[in-house]
Structure 1
Amino acid sequence: MSPELALTELRRALEVALWVGGPLLVTMLVVGVVVGIVQAATQINEPTIAFISKAVAMTAALFALGSFLLAYLVDYTTTLFQRIPHLIG
Structure 2
Amino acid sequence: MSPELALTELRRGLEVALWVGGPLLLAVLVVGVVVGIIQAATQLNEPTIAFIAKAVALTASLFALGSFLLAYLVDYTTALFQRIPHLIG
Fold match by TM threshold 0.5: yes
2:48 aligned residue: 48
1:61 aligned residue: 61
CA distance in 2: counterparts of 1:13 and 1:38, whole angstroms: 37
CA distance in 1: counterparts of 2:60 and 2:83, whole angstroms: 35
Structure 1: tracts of 5 or more residues without a match: none
- The TM-score with structure 2 as length reference comes to 0.99
Deviation at 1:65, TM superposition (A): 0.3
The ranges of structure 1 where at least 4 consecutive aligned residues each deviate by more than 2 angstroms after the TM superposition are none
**Aligned pairs (5 A) from 1:64-79:** 64-79=64-79
The answer to whether structure 1 residue 17 and structure 2 residue 17 are counterparts is: yes
Aligned length: 89
Deviation at 1:4, TM superposition (A): 0.3
* Cα displacement string for residues 5-32 of structure 1 (whole angstroms, at most 9, x for unaligned residues): 0000000000000000000010011000
- The TM-score with structure 1 as length reference comes to 0.99
* Cα displacement string for residues 38-85 of structure 1 (whole angstroms, at most 9, x for unaligned residues): 000000000010000000000000000000000000000000000000
CA distance in 2: counterparts of 1:60 and 1:24, whole angstroms: 9
| Counterpart secondary structure, 2:83 | helix
Structure 2: tracts of 5 or more residues without a match: none
